[in-house]
């Protein structure tokens, strides 16, 4: 069974106590007044009874004083009956003579009435004679008390009814009044709650209220209005400040994640969302340690533990730096503690920098150094061996062998020179001060010259280079040496990555957009897998797999790109399919841009 418990507040308790007291008071007053009234009524009734008895005595004396004794009985009986029949309150009347003998008594006639007698009053019957007042007997009147009883009862009932009514009205007034006040207090309470909940400007209705409560409600509404106005002013200011802060934070190129004292993410900027590949709603208010990258790795957990284990004064001067991998990307993360104005520790900030490219370049650089060393070692070793042999045994070889040796030495020296030139060109072309002298050139001639210089290389693999030139190509202003080197690079690559006995086609023509002249080198070599194509012109980038076994520096194509795009405002391109071949080329603007000419 349910245990009902009524919760009464102080106000309700006081109302209840007041009601009990007023009820008691009304009850006591009612009983007291009723008793008083009863007393008064009884007194008045007794006085009335005495008066009545006296009247009966005087009347009776008047009736019997002049008649014979024999007739007195009948006269009194008649008179008594007359009184008894018209008056319910009189139960009997009895007459006695001066000797105490009963002359007439209605008791004998109407015995029943005597039973109802409540009180009796006697009065002397006297007549005036010359000798003075003579007592001739006594009359006794018995009163039934019926009338007084009903009067008292009626008075009592009326009084109780009046008091009960008064109590009811009082209680009703108290309850209604309390209800009205409570209702208004409730609405005030509701309003205060709204305000404390930040709903400034909330107004209460005051039509039904009156007096002090109305004034209170009006004051509340006024306060609410002021707060609203103040809030709007403040909000505008705060919004401005916040917007400024957010704009700055959101536009920072590095990722920023702010965590509170309990490791919960409280703020994350756009870059961080992109870097961590998360939606704001998914990461806000979650523990940063629980962040998983796309491979399901908890990338931050270990480092956050380390950060928390390091004393604050140390970490403050030297923030914790580490790299995490998010999917395939490498993210440099820097965690620094965050302090309030009062220097209380409130959390930490993680700055995220995508260093995938830098790490890749670093890797490529070290790969480049190892490649260059390797590439240099081979010709140097060959050179040393051949020079050593010739030096130690000058007469042991015939003319033809010596010539063969010297040819090898010559080729290796050329290879060595090319490599050193590549590295030198690279640093020269990359430098911001690099300036190219440009002159009017016939690209067709340049193509012919390059093809001629590559002939020996092509012949080694029995590769035929064919040249397809559009007639009357416009003369354009270029840096001769640079374009020549770019062409040589493309043709030598085509030879390098083509099988023996194949064909390389070099084209020089006007591009679809006739503002450009297009030169391309097409081969039927090993081709390039699609995933490498967008990075193939990057510095040090090399494809190294089962088919791309030829060693190199990864600089050649990058030099082509710099020469064409940075120094000639042209564009390089590549189309390639593995095992089918590649077409590398570039487009050069027919008209050199004016300011570029000034630079030359
Ligand atoms: P490298 O000195 O290594 O040849 P490059 O910058 O000239 O450097 O070339 C970069 C990479 O591009 C090479 O490692 C090679 O894998 C690829 N490559 C360049 N040209 C061709 C081509 N014609 N066919 C296939 N692969 C090529």
- At 452-480, the pLDDT tens digits run 999 988 999 999 999 999 998 999 999 99
Predicted pLDDT of residue 112: 47
pLDDT of residue 110: 55
pLDDT of 573: 97
User: Which token pair is 115?
Assistant: 């039973």
pLDDT of residue 576: 96
> What are the structure tokens assigned to 208, written together?
């039904």
Across the range 225-249, mean pLDDT stands at: 79
State the average pLDDT over residues 341-349. Answer: 87
* pLDDT for 86: 82
> Looking at residue 556, what is its pLDDT?
87
In short, whether 548's Cβ falls inside 6 Å of ligand 1 is yes
pLDDT > 70: percent of the chain: 93
Testing ligand 1's pocket by substitution, the residue of 528, 531, 538 carrying the most ligand atoms inside 8 A of its CB is 528
DSSP string for 268-282:
E-HHHHHHHT--HHH
Check pocket membership of 53 for ligand 1, CB cut-off 6 A.
no
CA-CA distance, 299 to 291, in Å (whole number)? Answer: 7
Instruction: Give the distance (Å) from ligand 1 centre to CA of residue 558.
Output: 10
The single residue listed with the structure tokens 């070692």 is: 377
If one compares 422 and 531, the residue with the highest pLDDT of the two is 531
Alpha-carbon distance 101 to 93, whole Å?
14
493 Cβ inside 6 Å of ligand 1: yes
Over the stretch 164-218, which tens digit does the pLDDT of each residue have?
A: 888 888 888 878 877 877 777 788 888 888 887 778 888 888 777 777 778 888 8
Which structure tokens are listed for 179? 């209800």
Element (H, E) at 71: helix 69-86
Does pTM surpass 0.75? no
**What is the tens place of the pLDDT at every residue in 411-463?**
888 878 877 887 887 777 777 666 678 999 999 999 999 999 999 889 999 99
Q: Is 145 in the pocket of ligand 1 (CB under 6 A)?
A: no
Q: Take atom 16 of ligand 1 and give the residue whose Cα is closest.
A: 543
Report residue 597's pLDDT band, with 50, 70 and 90 as the boundaries: very low
Q: Which residue has the higher pLDDT, 229 or 581?
A: 581
| Residues 543/362, Cβ–Cβ less than 8 Å | no
Phi, psi of 261 (to 5 degrees): -55, -25
**C-alpha dihedral over 196, 197, 202, 206, to 10 degrees?**
-50
Q: What are phi and psi of 580, to 5 degrees?
A: -115, -30
Task: Give the rounded distance of the alpha carbon of 372 from its chain centre.
Answer: 57
- d(CA 33, CA 28) in angstroms, rounded, equals 8
Nearest CA to ligand 1 atom 23: 494
Locate the DSSP E strands across 391-463: 439-441
């Amino acid at each position: 069974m349910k245990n009902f418990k009524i919760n009464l507040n102080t106000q309700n308790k006081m109302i209840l106590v007041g009601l009990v007291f007023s009820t008691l008071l009304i009850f006591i007053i009612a009983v007291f007044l009723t008793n008083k009234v009863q007393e008064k009524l009884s007194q008045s009734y007794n006085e009335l009874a005495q008066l009545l008895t006296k009247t009966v005595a005087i009347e009776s004396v008047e009736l019997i004083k002049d008649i014979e004794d024999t007739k007195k009985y009948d006269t009194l009986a008649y008179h008594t009956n007359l009184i008894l029949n018209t008056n319910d309150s009189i139960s009997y009347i009895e007459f006695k003579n001066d000797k105490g003998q009963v002359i007439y008594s209605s008791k004998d006639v109407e015995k029943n009435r005597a039973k109802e007698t409540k009180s009796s009053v006697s009065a002397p019957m006297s007549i005036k004679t010359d000798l003075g007042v003579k007592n001739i007997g006594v009359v006794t009147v018995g009163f039934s008390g019926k009338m007084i009883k009903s009067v008292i009862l009626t008075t009592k009932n009326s009084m109780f009814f009046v008091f009960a009514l008064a109590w009811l009205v009082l209680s009703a007034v108290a309850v209604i009044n309390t209800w009205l006040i409570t209702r208004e207090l409730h609405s005030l309470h509701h309003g205060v709650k709204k305000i404390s909940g930040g709903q400034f400007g909330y107004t209460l209705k005051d039509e039904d209220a009156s007096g002090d409560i109305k004034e209170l409600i009006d004051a509340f509404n006024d306060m609410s209005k002021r707060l609203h106005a103040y809030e709007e002013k403040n909000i505008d200011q705060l919004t401005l400040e916040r917007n400024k802060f957010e704009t700055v934070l959101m536009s920072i190129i590095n990722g920023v994640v702010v965590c509170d004292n309990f490791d919960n993410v409280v703020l994350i900027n756009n870059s961080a969302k992109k870097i961590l590949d998360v939606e704001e709603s998914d990461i806000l208010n979650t523990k940063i340690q629980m962040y998983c990258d796309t491979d399901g790795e908890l990338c931050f957990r270990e480092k956050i533990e380390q950060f928390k284990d390091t004393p604050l004064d140390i970490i403050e001067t030297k923030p914790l730096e580490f790299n995490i991998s998010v999917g395939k990307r490498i993210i440099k993360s820097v965690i620094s503690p965050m302090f309030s104005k009062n220097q209380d520790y409130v959390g930490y900030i993680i700055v995220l920098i995508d260093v995938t490219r830098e790490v890749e370049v670093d890797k490529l650089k070290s790969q480049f150094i190892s490649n260059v060393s390797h590439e240099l070692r081979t010709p140097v070793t060959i050179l040393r061996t051949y020079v050593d042999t010739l030096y130690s045994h000058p007469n042991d070889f015939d003319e033809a062998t010596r010539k063969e040796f010297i040819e090898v030495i010559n080729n290796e020296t050329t290879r060595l020179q090319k490599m050193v030139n590549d590295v030198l060109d690279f640093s020269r072309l990359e430098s911001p001060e690099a300036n190219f002298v440009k002159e009017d050139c016939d690209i067709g001639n340049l193509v012919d010259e390059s093809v001629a210089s590559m002939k020996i290389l092509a012949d080694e693999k029995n590769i035929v280079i064919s040249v397809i030139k559009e007639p009357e190509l416009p003369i354009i202003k270029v840096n001769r040496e640079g374009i020549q080197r770019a062409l040589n690079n493309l043709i030598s690559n085509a030879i390098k990555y083509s099988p023996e006995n194949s064909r390389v086609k070099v084209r020089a023509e006007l591009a679809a957009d006739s503002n450009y002249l297009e030169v391309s080198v097409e081969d039927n070599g090993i081709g390039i897998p699609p995933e490498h194509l967008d990075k193939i012109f990057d510095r040090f980038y090399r494809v190294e797999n089962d088919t791309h076994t030829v060693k190199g520096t990864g600089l050649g194509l990058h030099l082509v790109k710099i020469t064409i795009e940075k120094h000639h405002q042209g564009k390089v391109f590549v189309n390639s399919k593995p095992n089918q071949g590649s077409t590398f080329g570039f487009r050069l603007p027919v008209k050199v841009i004016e300011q570029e000419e000034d630079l030359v």
